[in-house]
Every structure is written in C-alpha cells, then in structure tokens.
Amino acid sequence: MAVNRSAHSPETSAAQPLAAATPAVLSVSPASGSTVGGSPVTVTGTGFTGATAVRFGPTPSSFTVDSDTQITALTPAGTGTVQVTVTTPSGTSNQFVTYAYVTTSAPVLSSVVPASGPAVGGTSVTLSGSGFSGATVVRFGGVSASFVVNSGTQITATAPAGSGTVQVTVTGPGGTSNGVPFTYTSVSAPVLTSVVPASGPEAGGTTVTLTGTGLATATAVRFGATPAASFTIVSDTHTTAVAPAGTGTVPVTVTTPGGTSNGISYTYAGAPVLSSVVPNQGPISGGNTVTLTGVNLTGATAVTFGTTPATSFTVVSPTQITAVVPVGPAGPVTLTVTTPGGTSSLQSAYFYVNTPILTAVAPPSGPLSGGNTVTLTGANLIEATAVRFGTTAATAFTVVSDTRITAVVPAGAAGPADVTVTTAGGTSNAVSYAYLPAPVVATLIPNQGPTSGGITFTLTGTHLAQATAVLVGGSPAGFTVVSDSHIVVDAPPGAPGPLDVTVTTPGGISSPVTYNRVAAPGI
C-alpha cells in the first residue's frame, strides 16, 4: 500500500526489524526540473518500504511510497545540483544520485482560438505560445480543463462549462503563464436544414451549399470527422463548403461559438461505370428508348449522346438507366452518364442510322394470292428488319445491298398497298404496289375463223387492262388492250380445230374460252 508523507513529516525513531537493509537510490526521473519546485519525479531503488523522508539536498519533499522499489516525490524549491536521498528506519541511502535544478521560464500564452464558446463547454480550443513542454495545468478562469500538449508552442484544450469572460492560463514547471481571455456565450448552436448536393465523388472537391440558421460565425465545417477542404460564410443562413475526400455516408456539421449543429447526411458516391446500351442503334430522329447497364448509376444527373442530352432518362436501379434518345447525326456517338460520383463514357457505343428510302418496286403489281417476288430499290436499306405490304409482312425478304431488297409478296386484298421497309433508322416512305384480281374473259367474238388467220376477234370481260399476254392454243398472239373490259386479238394461222384462249395479267391467268379454226370448204 502506498504511504503519503508531507515535507515536514517527523522521522520515526521506533524500533524497526534489524534485518531490514539500508535503502539504496539507483535513479531519479526526470533528473532535472524547475528551481521553483513542484515537479513530480520518480525515485527508483531498493528498501523503500517504511520510508520516512525523501530529501533533495538538505531539503525534504512530500512523497508517496509506491512500492519497495519506487517512490514518487514532489520536488521542493532549490538551486544547483543536489543529491537525492531516501531515509527509512534502517538508515539513509548514500548513493550519489543527483537532481539538477534549472531555471525555467513560465509559459507564455499568445492566443486562444476560438476565443469564445457556449456556456455548456465542450469547445475545442487551440492555445498558441511558448514554453508549453511539461505543462501540468490549463485553466479557464479557476476551472481546470482537459488538454493535450501538441508541442512546445501548441496545446489543444477542451473548454469546461463556464460563464462570462475568463482568463485562460497554462501552468508548467516554470510557473503560470499570462492570461488570454475566453468568452462564454449564450448563443444557440447552429441548425442545419439542408446540404445541396447531398452527394459527391469519393475524391471530394464538390462544392455544397449548407442552409440553416446561426451560420454567420462558423469556425468549422466537417464531413464526418474530416474538416471541409474550405468553406465560405455567405450569410447567417448560407455557407458553401468544399467536400474533402471520403467514403460512405457521413454527417455534415457546422461549428460556431454557440456549439456544433445537427448533422445532415452527405453520401460519397463511387464513380459510375457503363458497360452496355441496348439497343445500340436507332433513327437520326431519336425518340426511341434504350437501356444503359453498369454500376454506381444511382443519382445520375445527366445522360448524353455525343454532346446532346437525352430527351429524358429514368434511373431504374444502381445498375440500370432507361433513356429516350435525342435527335442526332448519322454515325456513332459516345454515350456518357454523369452521377455525383463522376462520369463514365462508352466510346462510339450508339449508332444513329439514316431513315431508309424507297424509290421503286418492280414489278409494281401482282396477284391477290401473293407468292411472287418483287425487287425494292432505294437507299439505306442494309439494316432492314422488316418489309411490309400495307400492314402485312412480306412472306420473306433478302437484303441484296444497301440499295436493293428482294421480297416475296404476301397475299392481299385487291387494290393498292403501301410497301415500306423498316430498319433501325426507322420506316421508309411508301411506294405503291397493286394487288390485282385474276382476269376474267366472258366472251370471244367471233368465236371462229379461217385456218389462214388474218382476222381479229374481241375478248370481253373484266380486269383485262394489265394484260401481258394472250395465248391462242398455247401460242402467243398479238393483241391490243382497248379497255379493262375489251381486248382485240390477232387470230394466228394454224390447223383447224378448237383452241383455248387465255389472258395473262399480273393478277393471274384467265379461265380459257374456245376459238375454232375452220378449214376452207372443198370444191
């Protein structure tokens, strides 16, 4: 058990066990101190149990026996170099272990920052000056404060509770410093209501606007425990601050002489990374919707195609954004997404495709049953994804080149149909294709003629205007289309007998009617 002794405790002469050894002093730490005394030192040695006196030279000190090998003593005032001795009932140590008195100046205090704080205390205050090494006490008025000696010229202290204006002092081995005033204020702590923007990159550097009350006397802005890179007081309700580097979500606070505000969350966002866009092409007119995939897309503030902002966009999740493509020039563009965490780009990731153009369809007509092949000519046809006759898709189609497509016509109703080609660039203008009914022949007049030919006969019926051939007995015959209901045919010579006559149009082949070649009468 430790035993306390005053500097004037009488030495005890009561009988002690004769077996106890005379005390021995081996070291004193520290080995020097101020002439004004009052410095705690540790005396190390042996046989200290029951110690009745510790002397610095001839002058006794107050002390505590910590153990048989250690005593803590408080130096008395003195000068020069003196021997330190320990006395017990067994005698007095005689080792020549010394303690040097040195002249030490009292600390000098030059500034206290901040110079004010709330009456409840808790303000972190920086004391600047000199002679702070070995400081033992920092007082605000008569109240001791907790403190850390940073160097011989700086101390960080936490102001205790108080009121009014008090003198801050530092006490060290050389004495107590001059006083520097610190004022306890009744100002309320600041209140924060918003931080805009509420997120930024992990590298920091984002300028944010803090809104609230009581900000005019701000002495610090912190993001979590990290001070802002810089801050500017705009008014009592507005402060701007540059975010330091950081990670995760941290509270932003403002400190004034009235205290520290509530915290408003600020999120350090990871940099976005784009990986794909689907579909990756579309018309120069824009208006189509694409899906962007990647990571860290939350909070996206911009999506651009080349240098043009998306018409609109929606953040679906941290890994997906949907965007409406703006108008753009034909060719590839770089796709860019901007978030609070930074910017990510995909080079030449999206292609603007020219709208297809149709100039002709050949042949321009065909049967209602379809099945015939037509050739479409135009421009920008290479990316064709559909060919339609009216609203009906072609039975099949083949892209021959950027200017030509062959398509198998589907069945359709009689009359004109708009033929269009669709690509990633959009749907082309329409060219007309006519669905034609098969021709019908009702009469053939006269229905007979000489084997020598040389006469004409007239076919009447319907849908004859597009006639491309008239076959008499399977052989082509000359003909003239008079109207949609009349064709005049040149009767070819040949052997006598009945012959089938048919009319061919793009709409098909008519049912046969009979023409008879009659031999001349014999004599």
What's the mean per-residue pLDDT of the chain?
Answer: 92
Distance CA 502, CA 498 (A): 13
Two structure tokens written together for 156: 């960080």
pLDDT at 39: 80
pLDDT at 4: 53
pLDDT at 17: 46
pTM of the model: 0.52
**C-beta neighbour count of 279 within 10 angstroms:** 13
Each residue of 113-149: pLDDT tens digit?
988 888 888 888 999 999 998 888 999 999 999 999 9
440-518 to CATH, choices 2.60.40.10, 3.40.50.2300, 3.40.50.1220, 2.40.110.10: 2.60.40.10
Report CA torsion sign: 220, 224, 225, 231.
negative
Distance CA 311, CA 323 (A): 7
Distance CA 427, CA 138 (A): 84
Distance CA 452, CA 414 (A): 40
CATH class as words, domain 3-102: mainly beta
* CATH architecture of the domain with range 108-185: Sandwich (2.60)
- 480 or 176: which carries more pLDDT confidence? 480
pLDDT at 266: 95
Mention every residue, 6+ apart, whose C-beta is less than 8 A from residue 349. Answer: 274, 276, 277, 280, 332, 333, 334, 335
Among candidate residues 388, 471, 370, 377, the one with its CA nearest the CA of residue 427 = 388
Residue 277 near residue 349, CB atoms below 8 Å? yes
β-pair type (342-353, 281-283): parallel
Each residue of 490-499: pLDDT tens digit?
999 999 999 9
Distance CA 437, CA 265 (A): 76
pLDDT band with cut points at 50, 70 and 90 for residue 150: very high
Each residue of 428-455: pLDDT tens digit?
999 999 999 999 999 999 999 999 999 9
* CATH architecture of the domain with range 191-269: Sandwich (2.60)
CATH node for 357-436: 2.60.40.10
How much is the average pLDDT of 308-322? 97
- 357-436 shares the fold of 3-102: yes
Each residue of 198-229: pLDDT tens digit?
989 999 999 999 999 999 989 999 999 999 99
Among candidate residues 522, 519, 476, the one with its CA nearest the CA of residue 497 = 519
Checking if the pLDDT of 22 tops 80, the result is yes
Each residue of 236-263: pLDDT tens digit?
999 999 999 999 999 999 998 778 899 9
Q: Assign residue 244 a region: left if phi > 0, alpha if psi is -120 to 50, beta otherwise?
A: beta
How much is the average pLDDT of 324-353? 95
How much is the average pLDDT of 387-408? 97
pLDDT band with cut points at 50, 70 and 90 for residue 19: low
pLDDT at 281: 94
pLDDT band with cut points at 50, 70 and 90 for residue 9: very low
Checking if the pLDDT of 6 tops 50, the result is no
Residue 30 near residue 43, CB atoms below 8 Å? no
CA distances from 88 to 14, 62, 356, 377 (A): 11, 15, 113, 121
Beta strands (DSSP E) in 296-384 are 302-305, 308-309, 312-317, 320-324, 331-339, 342-353, 357-362, 365-367, 373-379
CATH node for 273-350: 2.60.40.10
Q: Which residues pair with 117 in a beta bridge?
A: 184
pLDDT at 523: 63
Domain boundary assignment for the chain: 3-102, 108-185, 191-269, 273-350, 357-436, 440-518
Among candidate residues 423, 409, 415, 414, the one with its CA nearest the CA of residue 361 = 409
Distance CA 4, CA 511 (A): 137
Residue 132 near residue 154, CB atoms below 8 Å? yes
pLDDT band with cut points at 50, 70 and 90 for residue 7: very low
Each residue of 458-491: pLDDT tens digit?
999 999 999 999 999 999 999 999 999 999 999 9
